[in-house]
Structure 1
Amino acid sequence: MADNNSLVGGAVSVMGTNDTLTVVQFLIIIFLCINLLLIITFFRKECFYTTTRYILFAVTLLSDSLMLVMSDILLIVNYFHFPIQVWVCIIFNVVLLVYNIVTPVTLTAMTLERYVAICMPLHHAELCSTRSTMHCILIIHGLSSVPCIVVLSTFFASASFSMYKQYSSCSVEIFMLHRWQDHVRSAVQQFYFLIMVIIIVFAYVKIMKVAKAASGEDKKSSGKGLKTVILHGFQLLLCLIQMWCPFVETAALQIDFVLFVDIRYTNYILFNITPRCLSPLIYGLRDETFFHALKNYAFIGFYKRNI
């Protein structure tokens, strides 16, 4: 097991060259700046932090930003061969495991909000009040914590006390002391994503029926809601593919180590960073109200300060 851990850590640390690491840092800095700009805009207008879809949008921004920062810290730590104690690694991975699930679960909640707004407009104000949204956020984090609890429970039951004081390259693989633990983790995550896919498909079909039957402004609103659900589905698909990446990487490792390194880096960019950069596009740019506020508060406000 020690050999396997060192191999995984080595793979992360040599994930190639300075060029690839620089590209990742450049992308992460850009998206963190965009997310920060959107978060500031969110808190500048009352209608945003009292409306369900914008509150959930802010949750995804904060979740994605935290996920990018924590994963990038581990990437840099492993790149420069800094082993850390296992108990510190546990803290990092608790955050990563939880917030890796928070975003897709929140996307599913946002899809249900669109479904209620379009298919059940008379009940929207009641079901999607600010208080209900706060409860929804607690439920989202509770549900997102279950896979983390499963992983850590199996690890705590199998690991010796001395292991927590050992130094190791930090990755989630160090918690997989037995192959069955990896299978359990994968099964729980795949179950979650299966449920989320079913919910998004259900909402898509229902909204599509309403869009076909609607006319005028209702048809325009339904059509926009349908496009939003499609984009949420695409985000969820990328997150789902991320859950399959370990299987592909394991197969590549058995073939060629360099191939494994290349695939792991590609997976990190395509299926870890990319899905977390689509939320600003979906609500930050496509939403007319939010985009108008973004222009007024961010760009015009900064311009006036410099005058």
Structure 2
Amino acid sequence: MTLECYVAICLPLRHGELCTTRRTLHCILIIHGLSLLPVTVILSVFFISAPPIYYSIQRVCSMDMFVFLKWQDNVKLVLYQVYFLAMAATICFSFIKIMKAARAASREDKKSEKKALRRVSLHGFHLLLCLVQLWCPFIDTAVLHISITLFIDVRVSNYILFYLSPKCLNPLIYGLWDEKILQALKKKFLSWRQEKE
């Protein structure tokens, strides 16, 4: 999403050439392949090396129940950190370029520049929330060793903050910037408020 935004803003004349359906499909397949890598490694090692008695033990449902060898935990840690750093570098590079392009495009109109930078900043915040999802398994693991009730509370909070809210934030941001939708919401809110009075 970040790279598509970068291409659309910084390379508008090449957008049609770079963002074809075929290339998008290839990118989606690469992303799914890379995201399957850690899970495939962890589950393969688990099914190969777990003793049969391990299947009958009652445990808390978390990714840590599949990790019982120290090197598995290290591999998981390294993979998630590499993913986080690669995504963070991509987002930072893209948004620095997008901010420069937005500032250059609206240099003479300060109001337009402020609006563009605010929109880009909100989009960056949205992507930051998505990026923090990669830290959630580590947070869950650390809290699981402290208390099971705290683990459940943190897991629900992580789910709401870092999985659900980014998915709701994007339509809300674009919906509130659309004048027709904003006017309809204002009208609905005012009529609701008059009904209450």
TM-score (norm 2): 0.73
Provide the rounded CA distance (Å) in 1 between the counterparts of 2:69 and 2:154: 24
Give how far 1:124 is off: 1.4
Q: What amino acid sits opposite 2:139 in the alignment?
A: C
Alpha-carbon distance between aligned partners in 2 of 1:250 and 1:277, rounded to the nearest angstrom? 22
Long gaps (5+) in structure 1 = 1-109, 253-259, 297-307
Q: Do residues 263 (structure 1) and 150 (structure 2) align?
A: yes
| 1:6-17 superposed matches below 5 A | none
Question: Which residue identity does 2:68 align to in structure 1?
Answer: L
Aligned partner of 2:159 in structure 1 is 272
Contact 1:155 1:175 in 2 (8 A): yes
In the alignment, structure 1 residue 145 sits paired with structure 2 residue 36: yes
* Bigger CA radius of gyration: 2
The answer to whether the aligner puts 1:188 opposite 2:79 as a matched pair is yes
Paired AA for residue 63 in structure 2: V
1:9 match: none
Q: Is the 8 A contact 1:116 1:124 kept in 2?
A: yes
- Show CA shifts across 1:270-297 (max 9, x none): 222321222343321111499779xx9x
Structure number with the bigger relative contact order (C-alpha 8 A, sep ≥ 6) is 1
Q: Deviations over 1:18-64 (max 9, x none)?
A: xxxxxxxxxxxxxxxxxxxxxxxxxxxxxxxxxxxxxxxxxxxxxxx
Give the counterpart letter for 2:56 in structure 1.
Answer: Q
Among 3, 13, 16, the alignment partner of 1:125 is 16
Deviation at 1:251, TM superposition (A): 5.0
For 1:158, the aligned partner's letter is S
Q: Give the C-alpha shift of residue 223 in structure 1.
A: 4.7
User: How far apart are the structure 2 equivalents of 1:197 and 1:111?
Assistant: 11
Query: Deviation of residue 264 (structure 1)?
Result: 0.7
Q: 1:164 to 1:156 in 2, by over 3 A?
A: same
Deviation at 1:218, TM superposition (A): 7.6
Counterpart of 2:143?
249
Q: Does 1:240 align with 2:134?
A: yes
Q: Which residue of 2 aligns with 1:3?
A: none
8 A Cα contact 2:64 2:141, kept in partner: no
Where do 4+ consecutive residues of structure 1 move more than 6 Å?
Answer: 289-293
Please list every run of 5 or more consecutive structure 2 residues that lacks an aligned counterpart in the other structure.
Answer: 185-197
Distance 1:290 1:128 in 2: 25
How many residue pairs were aligned?
A: 176
CA-CA distance at 1:207 after TM superposition: 1.4
Percent of matched pairs sharing the same residue: 36
Matched, 1:229 2:124: yes
Out of 155, 178, 185, the residue aligned to residue 69 of structure 2 is 178
